[in-house]
Amino acid sequence: MTETHDAPARIRPSRGADFSRIYGVGGYRPVRVIPNEEVLQWIDSSDEWIRTRSGISERRWAGPEETVSEMSVQAAGKAIAQAGIAPEQIGAVVVSTVSHLKQTPAIATEISHRLGCGTAAAFDISAACAGFGYGLSLADGMVRTGSAEYVLVIGVERLSDLTDTSDRSTAFIFGDGAGAVVVGPAAEPGIGKMVWGSDGAQADVISQTQAWDTAFAKEDAVNGAGDEIKWPALRMEGQTVFRWAVWEMAKVAQQALDAAGISADQLGAFIPHQANMRITDAMIKALKLPASVPVARDIAETGNTSAASIPLAMERMLASGEAKSGDLALVIGFGAGLVYAATVVTLP
Ligand SMILES: CC(C)(COP(=O)(O)OP(=O)(O)OC[C@H]1O[C@@H](n2cnc3c(N)ncnc32)[C@H](O)[C@@H]1OP(=O)(O)O)[C@@H](O)C(=O)NCCC(=O)NCCS
């Protein structure tokens, strides 16, 4: 009897499109506007201080009906419509959020179901203010390996649920909202290399005050009668974050430009995470961005909406005509973790 030497079993390679790009963007801003005057009822500050230190005039806070799911469905519905595809063509739904308060199941499955995305893969990611870039990088990979033809990336936050309105260093900063994009196959590169990373040594500089189990343990111990704040909130070392963002993030933004082979004067838009207008201005200077490049300044009316801030700002720039479809935009997100993600994209 002759022995057969079969070739070892080989997994068939999975290949999708050569490249990917964004086909649609949509945003949802809660109805309730919180002007600086309202913030002044909670903290000792002034409209002028808030405007000059952060660039924020007002922010939106979600009402009870404007849940993480509802805001996401509204934003994603617009993005899918603009992409001109049917919801069933979405193969994966990635939801980036740090403020969905129910840990399991992922809110992505509910959102996918409500949108009519059939059996699309659906999951949440936690990458704070870099969450949109992290999601975009996953989407790019999925489209190019063929594990999904179209991917819905949603950044959504209800940061008002995690805001301590008595904290002078954060009460004026955060806002709520959702932004979404549809990523799909393309013949030309529409998403550059993601320059991303983390610095866990600085995990404490922006974080939740306490874990939920600690909070509940305290609640039990004081039998609900203690006067300390038991509901966890976001805390941040403002100056440390500010310095890190200004020094390190301009370098990351430059690396993203270099990786994409694009010079600053070729950009049609600069859309940084809307953390603080002064951080944006410092980055413009460090990047030597020509004055002709429009810059997202959505923070003035939206506040810092973490994962939602870049797609919300992108939508606004396109809707106002400040930026055009097909323009190249430099996007960069950075925040709690610390984490960051930057790339160049072709606008939808
Ligand atoms: C939060 C931030 C605006 C504070 O500005 P800052 O200039 O660093 O403020 P400081 O904490 O150093 O305080 C400076 C002064 O303002 C005062 N101050 C602080 N908060 C204030 C407020 N809400 N209103 C008025 N005055 C305030 C301080 O008491 C201090 O006064 P003093 O000089 O008399 O001691 C700023 O640090 C920042 O934007 N950091 C980055 C935050 C960020 O982007 N986070 C999101 C990342 S995803």
The one catalytic residue in 36, 100, 117, 129 is 129
Taking residues 153-157, report their average pLDDT: 98
CA–CA separation, 137 vs 194, rounded Å?
A: 6
Query: For a substitution probing ligand 1, which of 36, 49, 52, 53 has the most ligand atoms within 8 Å of its CB?
Result: 53
The candidate with the shortest Cα–Cα distance to 80, out of 153, 145, 136, 185, is 153
Q: Any residues with Cβ below 6 Å from ligand 1, and which?
A: 43, 45, 49, 53-54, 129, 168-169, 172, 206, 236, 238-239, 241-242, 275-276, 279, 304, 335
Pairwise pLDDT comparison (127 vs 230), residue with the higher score: 127
Q: Rounded to the nearest whole angstrom, what is the distance from the C-alpha of residue 20 to the centroid of ligand 1?
A: 40
- Give the pLDDT of residue 336: 96
Checking if the pLDDT of 229 tops 80, the result is no
Under DSSP, the state recorded for 191 is: B
- Confidence (pTM): 0.94
Whole-number percent of the chain with pLDDT over 90: 91
117 is annotated as an active-site residue: no
Q: Rounded to the nearest whole angstrom, what is the distance from the C-alpha of residue 309 to the centroid of ligand 1?
A: 21
Q: Judge contact between 308 and 179, C-beta under 8 A.
A: yes
Q: Judge contact between 166 and 35, C-beta under 8 A.
A: no
- Give the pLDDT of residue 213: 85
Average pLDDT for the chain:
95
273 is annotated as an active-site residue: yes
- pLDDT, tens only, 71-124: 999 999 999 999 999 999 999 999 999 999 999 999 999 999 999 999 999 999
CA–CA separation, 208 vs 255, rounded Å?
A: 30
Instruction: Give, in degrees to the nearest 5, the angle at Cα 340 between 337 and 341.
Output: 145
223 is annotated as an active-site residue: no
